[in-house]
């Protein structure tokens, strides 16, 4: 311990500096004075890769106060540091290694229906991997997170376009491993690119002579696909599908062809109507034929967890035995993205 004291006009400024080498916890002791905190986690957060805890605990006080004592102040500072480490571990890691990521190091957000890591997620995981490398006593749980309300419509739309886009199929002669997930289709954003694909699928599904569904108003068209997919999947709450992945959503009612008062022929209607509104209407009708079962949601959660795990283990700096993929209950809808929340132990 190195200590420096500065006293001026009865005011004390002290900067005790502690270096603790190879601290190990003994057996629990039944004491009324024992702090009730996860000390193992706190020590793992404070101890570097060489087993050294190096901390500074600045303290101050008024020497004119008859109740003033140095030792209780030092102990209070130590308990405060341990409390912060145990109750807000990611905030401490963010402060030490994550820069501006801070407390959000434990939150990895995914687009609905997707297991892709975006730029922000990759940056957070890079900071977290560095923190795990510097704190080898830490272990991490990665939940297989998914949200039925958010992921079901997005998965249904991805399934639809996986059928429509030739690029989503593997090249001829290429036989992917049975466990390898299918690549996520890149859905065209331009309605003019989606429209011919959807028209051809509509003809195959409902027949060449079936009239097109009437395009909806712009606000309704924007949510057509999402609403149809949710209705097709029943939007039911999945009761911990992580532990029972064989369940399935109720089968949707057969989709009926559009009413007779719609446009007279698909080709004519597609040429006359607004391409975006027509594409949304076609997509909504086709999505009524798509079902998403519980096991698909569970697999999506597992792909997300594996993506996080692979990012943390890439390069070999972190021991695979320290990063665990765990089952998790379905998440409620929250914003536009699905959050995967990591936990340390």
Tell me the pLDDT tens digit for each residue of 60-108: 888 888 778 877 877 888 888 888 888 888 888 887 776 554 557 889 9
3-state helix, strand, coil in the chain (%, to 5): 45, 15, 45
Q: Comparing C-alpha atoms, which of 107, 126, 10, 168 is closest to residue 339? A: 107
Range 23-37 average pLDDT: 83
Sheet holding 343-344, edge to edge: 323-326, 140-143, 343-344
Q: 43, 22 in Cβ contact below 8 A?
A: no
Domain residue ranges in the chain: 5-25+34-87, 97-146+300-344, 148-165+185-296
Q: Are strands 17-21 and 107-111 parallel, antiparallel or unpaired?
A: unpaired
How many other C-beta atoms can be found within 10 angstroms of the C-beta atom of residue 272?
9
| Beta-carbon-side half-sphere exposure of residue 286 (alpha carbons within 13 Å) | 28
Q: What is the pTM of this model?
A: 0.71
- Residue-level pLDDT at 262: 44
Q: 147, 112 in Cβ contact below 8 A?
A: yes
341 forms beta bridges with 107
Lowest mean pLDDT among 87-96, 155-164, 237-246, 303-312: 237-246
What residue has token string 């429509």?
Answer: 164
SS3 category, 190: coil
Measured between alpha carbons, how far is 57 from 77 in angstroms, rounded to an integer? 6
Task: Provide CATH code, domain 97-146+300-344.
Answer: 3.30.1330.60
Token digits for 179?
A: 């466990």
Measured between alpha carbons, how far is 81 from 83 in angstroms, rounded to an integer? 5
Burial readout 25-61 (b: 16 or more C-beta within 10 A, e: otherwise): eeeeeeeeeeeeebbebbbbbbbeeeeebeeebebeb
In tens, the pLDDT along 166-218 reads 754 444 444 444 445 567 888 888 888 888 888 888 888 888 878 878 776 55
Token digits for 77?
A: 């500072």
Residue 37, CA distances (Å) to 21, 135, 297, 343 in order: 21, 19, 36, 16
């Amino acid at each position: 311990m190195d200590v420096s004291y500065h006293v001026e006009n009865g005011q004390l400024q002290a900067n005790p500096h502690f270096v603790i080498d190879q601290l190990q916890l003994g057996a629990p002791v039944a004491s009324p004075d024992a702090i009730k905190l996860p000390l193992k986690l706190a020590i793992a957060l404070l101890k570097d890769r060489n087993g050294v805890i190096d901390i500074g605990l600045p303290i101050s006080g008024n020497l004119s106060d008859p109740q003033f004592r140095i030792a209780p102040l030092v102990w209070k500072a130590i308990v405060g540091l341990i409390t912060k480490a145990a109750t807000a571990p990611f905030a401490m890691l963010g402060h030490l290694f994550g820069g501006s990521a801070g407390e959000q190091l434990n939150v990895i957000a995914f687009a609905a229906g997707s297991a892709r890591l975006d730029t922000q997620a990759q940056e957070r995981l890079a900071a977290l991997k560095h923190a795990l490398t510097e704190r080898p006593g830490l272990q991490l749980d990665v939940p297989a997170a998914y949200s039925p309300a958010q992921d079901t419509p997005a998965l249904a739309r991805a399934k639809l376009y996986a059928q429509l886009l030739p690029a989503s199929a593997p090249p001829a002669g290429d036989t992917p491993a049975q466990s390898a997930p299918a690549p996520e289709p890149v859905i065209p954003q331009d309605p003019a690119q989606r429209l011919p694909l959807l028209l051809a699928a509509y003809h195959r599904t409902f027949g060449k002579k079936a009239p097109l569904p009437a395009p909806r108003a712009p606000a309704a068209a924007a949510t057509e696909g999402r609403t149809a997919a949710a209705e097709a999947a029943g939007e039911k709450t999945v009761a911990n599908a992580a532990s029972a992945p064989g369940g399935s959503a109720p089968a949707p009612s057969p989709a009926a062809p559009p009413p007779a008062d719609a446009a007279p022929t698909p080709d004519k209607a597609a040429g006359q109507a607004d391409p975006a509104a027509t594409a949304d209407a076609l997509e909504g009708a086709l999505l009524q034929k798509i079902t998403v079962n519980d096991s698909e949601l569970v697999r999506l959660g597992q792909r997300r967890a594996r993506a996080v795990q692979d990012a943390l283990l890439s390069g070999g700096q972190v021991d695979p035995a320290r990063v665990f993929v765990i089952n998790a209950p379905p998440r409620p809808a929250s914003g536009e993205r699905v959050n995967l929340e990591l936990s340390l132990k």
